Amino acid sequence: MAHSVEKARLRKQLLDQRDGLSPDFIKIASSKIQDNLRKIEYYRNAKMLGGYHAVGSEVRTQDILQEILNAGKELSLPKVEKNDLVFKKISSFSDLEMGNFSVMEPKERCETVKKLEVILVPAIAVTREGYRLGYGFGYYDRYLHDKRSKKIALSFSKQVIKSIPHDSHDVKVDCIVTEDEVIYPNK
């Protein structure tokens, strides 16, 4: 219980901080993050990727998603169904609609995908050890729990912090990409 209280406090503080970033900084840093993402071999070589459509002050993912589609790779985005996350394949942004939490999600008709090689994961904050602080609903941790997919967190360097309270069900990421560097946590 103490962890959830601490996480909630940290989440609010870090979200407030990220929401204070200028639109110009977010745009420029997101472009640098996209450049750094291309340096990751298993990302470049993946044929089936999972991404997410950015909201608010998150790292802008729209150009990354378009680049994946332009490369002829399979792209799936998350959709909340009941209390779980599923990834559904899209072929263009016209396959998206406004969903839960004011997030663009694949339309119902899109095919559900069970296996993804690489998944881009949103984060409010991350540690160099690979722990991430999400929005507190647990969707990604539940989804990623038994998946073999490589998990890449996209984060501004200001969001890489020393520690985040974590529990046994928290899933670590394999890689963190910021505008300044690519971090491979020690497993």
119/63 Cα distance (integer angstroms): 16
Parse the chain into domains and list their residue ranges.
2-183
Q: Specify the DSSP element, H or E, that contains 143.
A: helix 139-144
pLDDT given for residue 187 in this prediction: 55
* Token pair of 166 as six digits: 């974590």
Would you tell me which CATH number, out of the four given (3.20.20.30, 3.30.1600.10, 3.30.70.920, 3.40.50.10420), belongs to the domain 2-183? 3.40.50.10420
Q: What band does 146 get if pLDDT is binned at 50, 70 and 90?
A: confident
pLDDT at residue 14, rounded to an integer? 92
Please write the tens of the pLDDT for every residue from 10-27: 999 999 999 999 999 999
Residue 101, phi-psi category: left (phi > 0), alpha (psi -120 to 50), beta (remainder): left
Instruction: Give the DSSP H or E segment for 19.
Output: helix 2-19
Kindly state the average pLDDT of the residues 20-37. 97
> Which tens digit of pLDDT belongs to each residue from 46-59?
999 999 999 999 99
pLDDT of residue 177: 98
